[in-house]
Structure 1
Amino acid sequence: MELLPIKNPHLKIRQTVHYLLHRPPLSPVRFVLFGRGRSGTTVLVSLLDSVKSIQCDGEILSRPVLLPQLYVQSCCAKASTEAYGCKILSYHIRDVQPLLRRRHFLHQLDKVGFKIIHLQRRNLFYHALSNLKARVSGYYQKKTDAPAKSRVITVRPESMLDWMQRSERLATYELELLKGLEVLPLTYEEHIQDSSQHQPTVDQICNFLGVAPSPVTSAYQKQSSGRWQDAIANHQELTDFFAKTPYAHYLEDS
């Protein structure tokens, strides 16, 4: 496994060591937003961070850090809000952090009071397509950005199938990591895809955490809408290819 370089390593080491030496108190309420990339986690982080009593950080473990569990706790200790949360993607645990007892990591955070919110994207076809399109158009767009130019791309069916199978394996891995934990399960399709569900979803999370809800808005917006076929030049090739696979129903659902 090729390790990614540590960004600002001295700052992160100093922060972790300071936490170890002084043990400042953690935020009374703490949580982890857990899942795969391209599943609505960026939008949900933005929504939760707009709740008055919550500070929700993004991918704090996207680079290798010293003592990941203690680093998460040190970030929590720096927060001045009643509730602190951060986004941890499953591949951060599996592939990025070298000094980690991977199968016990979420359980260790649970033992020190971190609640787990698990966000999944059920449609593997749309999930794979989102990943492939993101590499062309960018991962997400702020509402204040100029509108993204719509692009029609060509996708190799084999590449799409590979993405779907890897996503499926990662989803299974996530469930293994979560065994035995109390989890709030959410899905992209039910809770994130339609913006009308954002406020009810945040209210549900606040109830799970035991904090007061407040009106929220996201700084991000979807980059595409409408039929997936409109964005794929060879959409008929994909349809024909997946008709012969166990994944055909994902296209029917889309």
Structure 2
Amino acid sequence: MLRFMFVGDSMTIGSAGEHTWRYRMWHHLRDTLGDEGFAVVGPRTALHDKATGEPLSHDYADAAADFPRHHLAGWGEGWQHLAPQIAGALTRDPADVLLVSLGLIDLGFYTNAEQTAHNVHAFVERARAANPRIRLVLLPVIPNIRAESDAPFAAEVARFNELLAKAVANLDTGTSPLLLASRPPSYDIHLDTYDGTHPNASGEHKLAGAFADAMAQAWGIGGPYAGVAARPEAVTRPEAAVTRPTG
């Protein structure tokens, strides 16, 4: 049985009333691996509650589903916040595969591209300290609406994505492989988000598809994503204005 842990920011934790892309991925894994072929683990289960500003809601859109809600994601959390936590999370809830979507909040509020890339290295190192055979799939940062009017921010996002690709290439090993999933080529922040940052239903499918197709192509895990949204390119193999955190 493969154990998956979702790691991310507000795009991954989701907020009250949403399905989340975690839910879409669960459906995909259940359809391709079977109920007994995988588990979802992690120290948290809640959604972000916009009314209180805290991760206290369990009001998932499909409340009746037997959906494993475990994750390591937080509204306003990035690489610098979760790198110190990942070893402890994996010790408490052992996982085989980390599906990671982080970086937007770091670049928007806390660290530049180089500093954020340094935190990626720290995250991988600490994850491997807890599980030397851990697998990681990393999603590049998808620029949000801020990038349309903030050229320096857009440049930092582009620079970080270059550094992330290099980090995946440099850190990938046979024992603990890394994949860089591709940004869904049809992802449009004006159509696939509800506010220019956070995914709506179509965006959730496309994010889940990015991870699913990467694993299917590179590792033979699961299969091509068969959700309602158009599937993205699968994987890049290792080769060479807001006023508060919203990532």
TM-score, normalised on structure 1?
A: 0.39
Query: Which has the higher Rg, Structure 1 or Structure 2?
Result: 1
TM-score, normalised on structure 2?
A: 0.40
Tell which has more relative contact order, 1 or 2 (C-alpha 8 A, sep 6+). Answer: 1
Q: Which has the higher helix share?
A: 1
